[in-house]
Amino acid sequence: MKVLINPLVKVRDVDGNILGSKVEYYYDEVFEVAQPFFFVDNADITLESGDPQFFYYKDDTGEIIKYIRPEPVIIPAAPVAPQKTMEQLIEEAVAAKLAEMLAANSTSNTSPDTTSP
């Protein structure tokens, strides 16, 4: 199989280190391509090898290497406290105010009446 290499696009690992050049596609035959693209022979690569995006060309050794990106780490979202509706907030405010008024009223009713003759 003929593997088309794009040396202008570099494949990087998750840390940003350059692994090699991008494999564009694989073909049965070589045909003319614009510079700097080029073909390399690789008997291990077939159309059944999978998507070319998972391969790169190691520039220093000339190897075609399959690169499987590690699965992303999924961080679970922090639990969110349930949000109260406007009606719930109003009910709580009214209940607090009524309790406050009742408490104030009950203390005024229990004090000795000094104005009576």
Domain for residue 8, yes or no?
Answer: yes
Domain count within the chain: 1
92: pLDDT strictly greater than 60:
yes
Domain for residue 80, yes or no?
Answer: no
pLDDT of residue 116: 54
Across 42-94, where does the E strand assignment appear?
Answer: 55-58, 63-66
pLDDT tens digits for range 36-85 = 999 998 878 777 777 777 888 998 998 888 877 667 778 888 787 788 88
Domain coverage including residue 56: 2-66
Domain for residue 57, yes or no?
Answer: yes
Domain for residue 110, yes or no?
Answer: no
Domain for residue 78, yes or no?
Answer: no
110: pLDDT strictly greater than 80:
no
* 28 close to 1: Cβ distance less than 8 angstroms: yes
